[in-house]
Amino acid sequence: MENLYDSDPRIVMTLDAGGTYLKFSAIRGNKPAAEPVKLPSKADQLDACLAQITSGFEEIKRRLPAAPAAISFSFPGPADYPAGIIGDLPNLPAFRGGVALGPMLAEKFGVPVFINNDGDLFAYGEAMAGFLPYVNGQLEKAGSPKRYKNLFGVTLGTGFGGGIVREGRLFLGDNSAGGEAWLLRNKLTPAVNADEGCSIRAVRRVYAELSGISPEKAPDPKEIYEIGMGEAPGDKAAAFEAFRRLGENAGDAIAQALTLVDGLAVIGGGVSGAHGLFLPALVDAVNGVYHKPGGDLRRLIARAYNFEDEAQRAAFLKGDRREITVPGSGRKIEYDPLQRTAIGLSRLGTSEAVAIGAYSFALSKLG
């Protein structure tokens, strides 16, 4: 299915900002418009970091076939994103006390500048050109009238990021803090937040605990995944349980969000590659129950389906279509009483989804 901006001729320069590197690119028509540029962030020196950001965009601009219409990119929070002001960042310590990064770049390059966090832009990219239109396309092929307009996206990596898209618009909130999944409650350790159970360090910590090694000696999640799959030596049971716990924690957090969002859910981030070990537990947690006097109560009104599982995907696409008669007439209408959601993986890849999200956000603001 063609995206709204697939044929748009405008170019938007983008940036993926991290504590170690700054990765610059440009998008036109939802495709790369220039070779990317990667520079050290110099995160502990404000003037040097700002100079790197400026020079990175200057280099990208030199590589473009036409002038850019805007700059749009992800940057860590806390921040006043609409104003383009970056706050006190843990990974970029030089940004303390508030730095007007957006206004600085707007004056330098003479174009509008839009900044959001990567969780928001990931979700927006998947809503515009990734998981959401893909699912709707599959429903159309299956002959189902069901369509989705809302999406909750999460990233599993260094932290647990999130974003909400409602009817084609990114939900930012009044404090630029909508969709902050990392601050949801941790199901298995309620005294801490979900981030501590849905991240790289969570997988390493649980593996170390169960295999009897120090946390410093724990392998990275990719190797732990290979151990769990029997492809590398190590404690297979500990590896499996480390990812199962991540799935249970992430699933409970997603269930909390879907209670309010009522849409699809998409998963990205570096840890998502290990979905074979955590996605079943994640979907089971979303489909969990509350235990109360008089009987159990479903965790969600909608039933969640694992879109990466062939049988569950088929059941989701089929639904429960039936015809009912309008009272007082012989007219029949189609009805599908199965309230459901699908949970699946990024169809774009996390970095591309963030870039397309940044591009789409800028064009939506430009009109």
Residue 110 exposure: Cα atoms within 13 Å on the Cβ side: 4
| 8 A C-beta contact, residue 35 and residue 63 | yes
Residue 21, pLDDT above cutoff 90: no
Residue 224, pLDDT above cutoff 90: yes
State the average pLDDT for the chain.
93
In the structure, how many helices (H) and strands (E) does the chain have? 10, 18
Residue 2, pLDDT above cutoff 60: no
Domains of the chain, each with CATH number or no CATH? 11-116 (3.30.420.40), 131-347 (3.30.420.40)
Question: Would you say how long the chain is, in residues?
Answer: 367
Q: Rounded to whole angstroms, how far apart are CA atoms 269 and 200?
A: 10
Query: For the segment 244-257, what is each residue's pLDDT rounded down to a tens digit?
Result: 999 999 999 999 99
| 8 A C-beta contact, residue 313 and residue 322 | no
| 8 A C-beta contact, residue 257 and residue 340 | no
Residue 201's nearest CA partner among 188, 179, 218 is 218
For strands 303-306 and 340-345, give the pairing. parallel
Segment 119-138 shows an average pLDDT of 96
Residue 340, pLDDT above cutoff 90: yes
Question: Residue 266: its pLDDT value, please?
Answer: 98
* pTM assigned to the model: 0.93
Residue 90, pLDDT above cutoff 80: no
Q: Model confidence at 130, in pLDDT bands (50, 70, 90)?
A: very high
Residue 22, pLDDT above cutoff 60: yes
Segment 107-125 shows an average pLDDT of 96
Q: Model confidence at 285, in pLDDT bands (50, 70, 90)?
A: very high
| 8 A C-beta contact, residue 60 and residue 73 | no
The pLDDT > 90 percentage for the chain reads: 84
Question: Residue 190: its pLDDT value, please?
Answer: 94
DSSP secondary structure code for residue 91 in this structure: S
Q: Rounded to whole angstroms, how far apart are CA atoms 163 and 266?
A: 10
Residue 18, pLDDT above cutoff 80: no
